[in-house]
């Protein structure tokens, strides 16, 4: 019986893959630093920034309202059943408010914006790249990072906290609708417990996250758009990668931010 040849693992391919990932992280970091530095320089492209604010902020409003409302409604419906076991149904408003303001509001809003806008940024910039519009922009002396990336970064970081506030309020309102019409809870009691349960630490924790998530959404979408390869098929691939990478980074970053804030604020 012939002896089977032992195949050694292809270490060269492994190292090439590792180097490409490290290079991608380096390029992503440099792009983010360059875009942040461009915020304080001229030209500012205010018209492009306002257009992106409209696309990201106003355009995302319907899905944010729907997500926030039904998240609060389901949260109230589920927690009320658990609290009923302990005879503490009156704490429904407190649970809904704390859960939405601290975690669910910022994270779900960022995920919805990532799914809608990170993919849009990647496909739009990727299409410009494969059609050589970005090369023409460079030939005319325009910095693509300042023209394309910085307006989207400023717009996303500005709009995501506002969308989060709307999502939190609509979510608490959705919890109230369930508490009033299904659980038959007193409206004054619901809103009082919801309002009194929120402290500065809770609001600060819930409002610092959208700024970081907005940075992630904008930079991931722009990065995958600017690194598109392979024509129209590459544009579709970059769009998918942008949504997946932004969602994973949001969830991962949320854990570490929460851990850090709990350690600092108690």
Mean residue pLDDT across the chain: 88
8: pLDDT confidence band, cut at 50, 70 and 90?
very low
pLDDT in tens, 186-214: 889 889 988 888 898 889 999 999 999 99
Q: ∠ at Cα 67 (64, 73), nearest 5°?
A: 135
DSSP code of 119?
A: H
Q: Any idea where the domains of the chain sit in the sequence?
A: 44-265
Name the pTM for this structure. 0.89
Please report which residue ranges of 182-230 form alpha helices under DSSP H: 187-196, 200-226
55: pLDDT confidence band, cut at 50, 70 and 90?
very high
Spatial CA neighbour of 153 closest among 3, 48, 23, 255: 48
pLDDT at 56 over 80: yes
What SS3 class is residue 2?
A: coil
Sign of CA dihedral 94, 96, 101, 104: positive
C-beta of residue 234 within 8 angstroms of C-beta of residue 126: yes
Q: Count Cβ atoms within 10 A of the Cβ of residue 211 and give its class: 0-12 exposed, 13-18 middle, 19 or more buried.
A: middle
pLDDT at 12 over 80: no
pLDDT at 34 over 90: no
pLDDT at 142 over 70: yes
The pLDDT of 163-180, averaged and rounded, is 94
The per-residue pLDDT for 159 is 95
Could you tell me the CA-to-CA distances from 27 to 21, 73, 219 in Å, in that order? 10, 42, 11
pLDDT at 1 over 70: no
């Amino acid at each position: 019986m012939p002896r089977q040849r032992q195949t050694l693992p292809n270490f060269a391919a492994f190292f090439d893959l590792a180097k490409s990932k490290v290079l991608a992280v380096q390029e992503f970091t440099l792009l983010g630093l360059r875009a942040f530095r461009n915020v304080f320089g001229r030209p500012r492209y205010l018209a492009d920034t306002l257009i992106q604010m409209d696309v990201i902020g106003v355009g995302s409003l319907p899905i944010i309202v729907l997500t926030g409302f039904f998240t609060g409604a389901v949260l109230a419906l589920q927690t009320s059943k658990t609290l009923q076991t302990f005879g503490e149904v009156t704490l429904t408003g407190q649970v809904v408010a704390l859960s939405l303001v601290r975690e669910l509001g910022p994270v779900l809003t960022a995920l919805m914006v990532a799914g809608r806008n990170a993919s849009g940024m990647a496909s739009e910039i990727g299409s410009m790249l494969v059609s050589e519009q970005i090369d023409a922009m460079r030939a005319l002396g325009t910095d693509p990072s300042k023209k394309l990336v910085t307006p989207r970064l400023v717009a996303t970081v500005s709009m995501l906290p506002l969308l989060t506030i709307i999502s939190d309020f609509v979510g608490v309102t959705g919890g109230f609708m369930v508490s009033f019409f299904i659980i038959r809870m007193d409206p004054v009691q619901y809103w009082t417990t919801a309002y009194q349960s929120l402290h500065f630490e809770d609001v600060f924790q819930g409002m610092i996250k959208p700024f970081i998530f907005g940075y992630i959404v904008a930079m991931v979408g722009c990065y995958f758009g600017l690194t598109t390869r392979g024509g129209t098929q590459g544009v579709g691939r970059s769009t998918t990668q942008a949504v997946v990478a932004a969602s994973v980074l949001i969830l991962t970053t949320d854990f570490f931010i929460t851990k850090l804030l709990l350690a600092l604020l108690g």
